[in-house]
Structure 1
Amino acid sequence: MKNLSIAVHNHRIKQIKPSVFYKLTEKVLKFSKIMAPPAKKLKTENGTSAPVAAEPAKTMEKTDFVSLFKQDRKNTAKSILDFKFAKSRVRILNDHSEVKEKSNGIFYWMFRDQRVQDNWAFLFAQKLALKNEVPLHVCYCLLPKFLDANTRHYKFLVKGLQEIEEECNSLNISFHLFYGDGGTEVPKFVREHSMGAVVIDFCPLRIPMQWVENLKKGLPDDIPLIQVDAHNIVPVWVTSDKQEYAARTIRNKIVSKLSDYLTEFPPLVKHPYKSELKGIEKPDWVDCWNHVKIPELKEITWATPGYKGGVKQLEIFCLKRLRNYATKRNDPTLNCLSDLSPWFHFGQIAPQRAILQVSKYKNYKEGVDAFREEAIVRRELSDNFCFFNKHYDSIKGCAAWAQQTLKDHRKDKREWIYTVEELEQAKTHDDLWNSAQIQLNKEGKMHGFLRMYWAKKILEWSETPEAALAAAIYLNDYYSIDGRDSNGYVGCMWSIGGIHDQGWAEREIFGKIRYMNYAGCKRKFDINAFIARYGGKVHKKATNKAK
């Protein structure tokens, strides 16, 4: 019986502290700086090691990034078997540590990380399959509905899955499309077709976590269940064993481990063992729509789904926007953001790949540092919050001081109160807020600075903090292409519940929650230009005081 070929963490270990291989420099310890990745080394023709220099921007401008990344992987290793895999990315979720003998393959259930290349979970599954000389299978389980997702989200998802199927076919890997949740459907396939082990990716949200619990119960007793965090640079269970208070408390814990985890990826290669299973239905991308029951919402047109679309967006950001990212990203009238969140959310491009590439642009150091702060520290802080706080989408999940201050001001008089329908239709007295909502409705995104203002106004215009949070989460989950995500929940909770923040000067309704207003936005950027772009109007309504 062949074992898993790698020592992994058991899920019952409460705290994991991998060795730290370097000391932090003074530069790393500065408030908002993130360490650059260590220089990588490649084998030269004579067998010696040589450092890889940062690739000049001019060279990258002449190379499409899909080809560039393919070459980067090729330079890193021949396959996952020749690569030193970080053991702590992996944890075994049941009591079995050996692949079943005489199995028909290794099975990877893909959910959060919907890509073939640059996917640590997929790579680990191939490692097991190669070591045990068996075929490799991967599946996606299409749900009839998921939270407030609609056709806008499902079309983006399905188009990405079609690209995955094509690439899997070219790599001699069997791709399966199941209907229903993986906690129910995966055990059926594993039992019927005698799979040797199951690999899954990681998502901290409660519904996917429950699927995993159901999967553990449904799998045969002799099948290992292995989870790989392919979404975070540093696995969430390695970074910390508790909910972190703020970015300042988690930053050092992440940065101190980047030399171990912020590495290049080896390639997922053409698999040498082909599946001989019979009677397996191929995905039907037309019929799949008969298995979902979701509302219709117009597709977004600015973002092309799939890995190639995400890589193209990264290329545009690096070559055209990164130079201004540090100084102008908080201006909603300018196009200086990365706009990578749709692909990050669906896992169609690895955040780690984006960070590796952005970090090559040494001439834009401030922009690189700012992007790394957002894409590493802030993004992984969100996963930490959702993983350790079961009330991540409730006022109950807020800090004690925030819960108390909101309670103290619960009965404060609201000048304006709007229903969810009025908010959804952008029919408030605030033309800037309405313009932001119109952008969300039409484009499936909202500028990050305005998202804070948007959510805080919902708190100001709702009867209770609970109603405000529910409205903000619904509007974000339903309209934003990156909704139903750790970052979205944390964004709403920061604005309305003060998580990862501190108490501020006390005022009506908000209490000590940080306040934002229209006049403050006017000082930050040209609000008239933004309003003119999206057409938000001032809608008259009797104030609550008048009533």
Structure 2
Amino acid sequence: MQATILKLIHVHRGLVIDSEWKCTQRSFVSAHFLASQKVKMGPGGNTAAGVAVKRQIKESKSQSPKKPKLAKEPWQEVAAGEAKVDGKASTSTEVNAGRVRLLKQATASAAEGAPVVYWMSRDQRSCDNWALLYAAERARQQGSPLCVVFNLVDSFLNAQARHFGFMLRGLRIVDQKLSSMGIPFFLLQGKAEETISEFVEKTGASILVMDFSPLRIGRVWREAVCKRVPPYVSVFEVDAHNVVPVWVASDKQEYGARTIRGKIHRHLPEFLVDYPPLLPPAHAWTLEKSDSIDWESLISEVTKKGAEVPEVKWCEPGEDAAMELLLGEKKGFLRTRIRNYADDRNDPAKPGGLSGLSPYLHYGQLSAQRCALEGRKVRRSYTKDIDAFLEELVIRRELADNFCYYQLHYDSLQGAYEWARNTLLAHASDKREHIYSKDELEKGKTHDELWNAAQLEMVHLGKMHGFMRMYWAKKILEWTRGPEEALTISIYLNDKYELDGRDPNGYVGCMWSICGIHDQVGWQERPVFGKIRYMNYNGCKRKFNVDGYIQYVKRALFELKKAAKNPSEIPPSKTPAKKDAL
């Protein structure tokens, strides 16, 4: 443990800030990482912004253009391609500077016309990708060739065949689309700090562009690469995932949707703009050619390692399938199902009421900004439904990124509010009516048929309705030996089986259910839960057709079993459950 002083260069809404930061190095993440997030860990793991960095950010904001006033209709459409900043329309095709951060400034000169490399990771698409557009923009400016690289790791946060298969099939389409535009796609395998830095050095690249992700593992990878690239390389990070970049939306951990909503709304006129086209490179790639990738062999090899959780058939991977689900004539969400979204989205017995876009958004095969832009076009006809959709798509998703970005302990009890941590620990030793092991929970062998249905839907179909996910996680708290164990098991199951697992939304969902993150305070104190919101079976019965949902899951599993022709894969459903008391 040693104190380290680091000089960081941040780009805050287009203004370069030099800041010095003193922090304590931790075993699992370096001082640079803590410093780059402008976070110090206080008592109990809560975050507090560093005084020096807060002061410099405040000074930078005072020099930045004034924020646009919050519109009465934040989701109203403006003319296509127009961004309004300070009330003036801009038709620039360049990427907004506030979306880009300089992580490492080159300290030496690269060769003239040195290539630009885009390291694709979180945003796996060729279309509507601000990071790719920024890399292409820089390549045009300096007369350089452009390439895209993706680094495949063998193990990633409990990912299984279900996840690797979906991702790789989507990347195969990215490879095809980029190749058609003359942009080579390189697939690397190994540790990112080795493969990416070696590739950059071998090609003599002058600029490396990275995707943004708030999760710890991605930060560690990006930091390690920054340390190892040659001195003539400048490294940039682009938030191509959020409509409003996470560092622009807020400079602190927000308490809930009500505290971040207005901040995001204020920036929509500036950031919720249409994408410029991705132009073919002006200079062809003449360096080492990318090898032709045998995608089928690679997918077969990688998915063998996680065969315990097989791929799902209901969701076709890739950016084309994503756009079809969003806008298709027959089943497109915004064409055929949006009209009932506001009323049906919280009803697990009506699975068609959801958009179904979550896996595509998680893997970056679809841009949330594209969804918002297309949704805005039909808002006049379906105002209530579009507003509800955009609340979930933009406000709630970006609130989750905000939490994981500013709260280092986003997946542990240490990341909970102090009041929540205290009340949970005070009731940790309370007597439980039922105690289940991780294995029993994983196999859906509890007394509660509703919970079992939700668990088995997740295990075999890779999805669970959002309302059921809240009930599911809260019951894990009720049926395990304490909040730490409950949180560990819920995250383990979510990441292992959900097609969109290992996502800020998943971590925040578990933290909301078990630790009260982003929830209101003041619930009646009760055993086990303390002052955390309580949910039970009878409450679910009052909100939706519980029996209808259970039957829906049973039918889905029966069809899956029939298709697989292997009945042993699907465990038998339980007999009617004993219901929770009020």
Correspondent of 2:359 among 337, 342, 350 = 342
Correspondent of 1:402 among 420, 432, 443 = 420
Correspondent of 2:547 among 525, 528, 536 = 528
Q: Deviation per CA, 1:348-381, whole angstroms, max 9, x where unpaired?
A: 0100000100111111000110011111111000
Correspondent of 1:255 among 265, 278, 287 = 265
> Is 1:385 the equivalent of 2:403?
yes
Equivalent pair of 2:122/2:364 in contact (CA under 8 Å): yes
Correspondent of 1:40 among 75, 80, 99 = 80
Relative to structure 1, the CA distance from residue 426 to residue 203 in structure 2 (aligned partners, 3 Å threshold; closer, same or farther) is same
Paired letter, 1:264 = D
> Is 1:151 the equivalent of 2:161?
yes
Equivalent pair of 2:148/2:185 in contact (CA under 8 Å): yes
Cα distance, 1:541 vs structure 2:
11
TM-score (norm 2): 0.81
Equivalent pair of 2:184/2:289 in contact (CA under 8 Å): no
Cα distance, 1:539 vs structure 2:
5.9
Equivalent pair of 2:75/2:376 in contact (CA under 8 Å): no
Counterpart in the other structure of 2:69: 23
Equivalent pair of 2:111/2:204 in contact (CA under 8 Å): no
Equivalent pair of 2:478/2:528 in contact (CA under 8 Å): yes
SS in 2 for 1:449: helix
Counterpart in the other structure of 2:97: 87
- Aligned equivalents of 1:399 and 1:35: distance in 2? 32
SS in 1 for 2:149: strand
Counterpart in the other structure of 2:473: 455
Cα distance, 1:321 vs structure 2:
1.3
Relative to structure 1, the CA distance from residue 98 to residue 19 in structure 2 (aligned partners, 3 Å threshold; closer, same or farther) is farther
- Aligned equivalents of 1:97 and 1:507: distance in 2? 60
Cα distance, 1:441 vs structure 2:
1.3
Relative to structure 1, the CA distance from residue 425 to residue 122 in structure 2 (aligned partners, 3 Å threshold; closer, same or farther) is same
Equivalent pair of 1:379/1:487 in contact (CA under 8 Å): yes
Equivalent pair of 2:81/2:273 in contact (CA under 8 Å): no
Paired letter, 2:353 = C
Cα distance, 1:7 vs structure 2:
5.2
- Aligned equivalents of 1:305 and 1:345: distance in 2? 12
**Structure 1, gaps ≥5 residues long:** 29-33, 43-50, 52-75
SS in 1 for 2:425: helix
Correspondent of 2:347 among 331, 341, 345 = 331
- Aligned equivalents of 2:18 and 2:355: distance in 1? 35
- Aligned equivalents of 1:166 and 1:99: distance in 2? 34
Aligned residues: 497
Correspondent of 2:319 among 297, 300, 307 = 307
1:83-122 aligned within 5 A: 83-96=93-106, 100-122=110-132
1:100-499 aligned within 5 A: 100-278=110-288, 280-289=290-299, 290=301, 294-296=305-307, 297-315=309-327, 316-334=332-350, 335-361=352-378, 362-499=380-517
Relative to structure 1, the CA distance from residue 354 to residue 374 in structure 2 (aligned partners, 3 Å threshold; closer, same or farther) is same
Relative to structure 1, the CA distance from residue 118 to residue 526 in structure 2 (aligned partners, 3 Å threshold; closer, same or farther) is same
Q: Which has the higher contact order (CA 8 A, sep 6+)?
A: 1
- Aligned equivalents of 2:553 and 2:154: distance in 1? 33
The runs of at least 4 aligned residues of structure 1 exceeding 4 Å deviation read 6-14, 289-293, 539-543
Equivalent pair of 1:161/1:306 in contact (CA under 8 Å): yes
Paired letter, 1:350 = S
Paired letter, 1:154 = F
- Aligned equivalents of 1:183 and 1:479: distance in 2? 28
Structure with bigger strand share is: 2
SS in 2 for 1:404: helix
Cα distance, 1:222 vs structure 2:
1.6
**What RMSD in Å do the two structures reach over aligned CA positions?**
2.4
Relative to structure 1, the CA distance from residue 261 to residue 156 in structure 2 (aligned partners, 3 Å threshold; closer, same or farther) is same
Relative to structure 1, the CA distance from residue 533 to residue 507 in structure 2 (aligned partners, 3 Å threshold; closer, same or farther) is same
**Structure 2, gaps ≥5 residues long:** 1-10, 20-52, 83-88, 555-571
Counterpart in the other structure of 2:40: none
TM-score (norm 1): 0.86
Relative to structure 1, the CA distance from residue 458 to residue 106 in structure 2 (aligned partners, 3 Å threshold; closer, same or farther) is same
Equivalent pair of 2:449/2:576 in contact (CA under 8 Å): no
How many percent of aligned residue pairs carry the same amino acid? 44
Counterpart in the other structure of 1:73: none
Equivalent pair of 1:114/1:348 in contact (CA under 8 Å): yes
Equivalent pair of 1:8/1:92 in contact (CA under 8 Å): no
- Aligned equivalents of 2:576 and 2:538: distance in 1? 20
- Aligned equivalents of 1:381 and 1:39: distance in 2? 27
- Aligned equivalents of 2:397 and 2:17: distance in 1? 25
